[in-house]
Amino acid sequence: MANYAILTDLNRCVGCLACAVACKALNNVPISNYWNKVLRVGPNPKEEGSGEFPDVEMYFLVVQCQHCDKPQCVEVCPTGASQKRPDGTVQIDKQKCIGCQFCVMACPYNVRYLNPEERVVEKCTLCEQTIASGGLPQCVAQCGGMARFFGDLDKGIETFEGAENGKERIVLGDFAKPFTQEDVHQLPDLGNGPTFKYLLRNVKWQGGE
């Protein structure tokens, strides 16, 4: 089976919010809630510099459900509504959700919320129906900066695919600027094993703080 995840090349992300807007529109996410959000990290002083412009650095960090290896949200769910699927994704069975929000409190990344109308918890599904038919998640397909890539971790991040102009497929290994393993990061691991990856070259990674 697959182990699906998203990689974001932070050196290419311009903070345009296209991923967040596309996700919100497609999934009818309620006002004041989100399935993914874009945070600005910085500007911060460079390690070697005056600490004043132009000796500063900044990047944008996309945060959403990390579809963890050992999701805490699944462990605390009393009804089995939160589930870890064989394809590596974490999904919510709304028929089983009772709106207790234990999973919301357990998530280290604050990316779950209670839908006020349906009284069930929602979050990023990784566009499960689309990827099941060979498509890309909406946030990847609509990334104007071509910074988002989707694929199977078991096949290596170099095989992850993105979209150019929302249509033609591009492969990370062929498209991205060279990077080393030290350039690959993830959000803080509190024993839950986040699977989403972030590329950041020549800028100090601060997403783990």
Is 83 inside any structural domain? no
Residue 209 has pLDDT above 60, yes or no: no
Name which residue leads in pLDDT, 192 or 43: 192
CATH number at residue 19: 3.30.70.20
For residue range 128-137, list pLDDT tens digits in order. Answer: 999 999 999 9
Q: Distance between terminal CA atoms of the chain? A: 33
Residue with structure tokens 């944008």? Answer: 60
The angle subtended at Cα 164 by Cα 207 and Cα 59, nearest 5°, is 20
Handedness of CA 120, 127, 19, 59 (dihedral sign): positive
Query: Contact at 8 Å (CB) between 148 and 138?
Result: no
For residue range 6-28, list pLDDT tens digits in order. Answer: 999 999 999 999 999 999 999 98
Segment 185-202 mean pLDDT: 96
pLDDT in the model for residue 50: 65
Q: Which two tokens stand for residue 130?
A: 């689309």
Residue 98 has pLDDT above 60, yes or no: yes
Please tell me the least confidently modeled range out of 92-101, 106-115, 165-174.
165-174
Number of domains observed in the structure of the chain: 1
Is 191 inside any structural domain? yes
pLDDT in the model for residue 83: 96
pLDDT in the model for residue 193: 96
Is 77 inside any structural domain? no
Is 81 inside any structural domain? no
pLDDT in the model for residue 23: 94
Is 131 inside any structural domain? yes
Query: Contact at 8 Å (CB) between 183 and 12?
Result: no
Mean pLDDT of the chain: 93
Which structural domain range is residue 26 located in?
Answer: 4-67+125-199
pLDDT in the model for residue 31: 86
For residue range 17-68, list pLDDT tens digits in order. Answer: 999 999 999 998 988 899 999 999 988 888 776 666 778 899 999 999 999 9
Residue 112 has pLDDT above 70, yes or no: yes
